[in-house]
Structure 1
Amino acid sequence: MLNTLEVVTTVVVGVLVGVEFAVAFVMNPILNALPDDSTQLGHAHGGRMLGAVMPFWYIGSLILAAVWAVAGWQNDGSGLVVIAAGLLILSVVMSVLLLVPINNRNKSWTAENRPADWKQQLNRWLRFHYVRVAILIAAFALLVIALV
């Protein structure tokens, strides 16, 4: 049972990392290469779509890691799982405090009501997102190391 939990947790966090990596290094450059109206509308749609699922994915990943840390406390690598869970907590806190407020504003913008500094706000979101991706990659790497 613990083996299944370890694999499921690693896969769930790994796919989360892949999606967030793709947002940072594939989708955002594509959207930012479009004309302004399309750029902003694409970011708003992405914010609505991913904003609906990511809270569950982040919290679910954190819960899985926490359960693994508790269930496998006596096993080698449990310290790595605890650190990974701490990094996942940091990613959730960072999301709630820094990224979600910008995303909540962005997802309601249209060409008619967006603020003059909308590009600066999206760039600030992206800078925070790069840091969050690095934190998620570190958490995932620790889970992989703990798994093997």
Structure 2
Amino acid sequence: MENFNWVMGAVIPYANLAIFLFLAVKVFKGPLMGALSGRKDEYVSQLKEANRAKEEAEAKHRDLSEKLAKLNDEVAEIKARAKSQAELEAKKIISDAETLAAHLTNEARRIADAEVAKAKATLRDEILSGVKEKVVSRIKAEMTLDRQKSMFSEQLKNISQAKGEA
């Protein structure tokens, strides 16, 4: 290390490096800072745009979530209302059916009673007609001229007695 020249071997290369760095900073600082500040402004504006888009998306998500909740409530309400209306309609139909059944039962009973009365009248007329025919035929068979005369004289006697008592 005796022959080592400290100035030429250690100081001058470092001095050259320092001068080079100083000049590089002076020369490139302006354009480099301009380019970097332009990029920084661009990054800041993109970040602001991204934040704004994120807030819009979150607001839209909240809005859609609220609408979905309202729709679910509305669907449940519509289902409940439809079920209630269906139950009322079913009760009305059952009530109408029961009323109609009662009416038809009463009408059937009335018609049956009328048919029974008609059948009774027809049967009574047939029986009376049959009895009348039998009585007439029996009277014709049993009524002789002598029998008629005796009945006639009996009736005259009864009438005379009735006049005599009166």
The alignment's TM-score, normalised by the length of structure 1, stands at: 0.22
Structure number with greater Rg is: 2
The alignment's TM-score, normalised by the length of structure 2, stands at: 0.20
Structure with a larger share of its residues in helix? 2
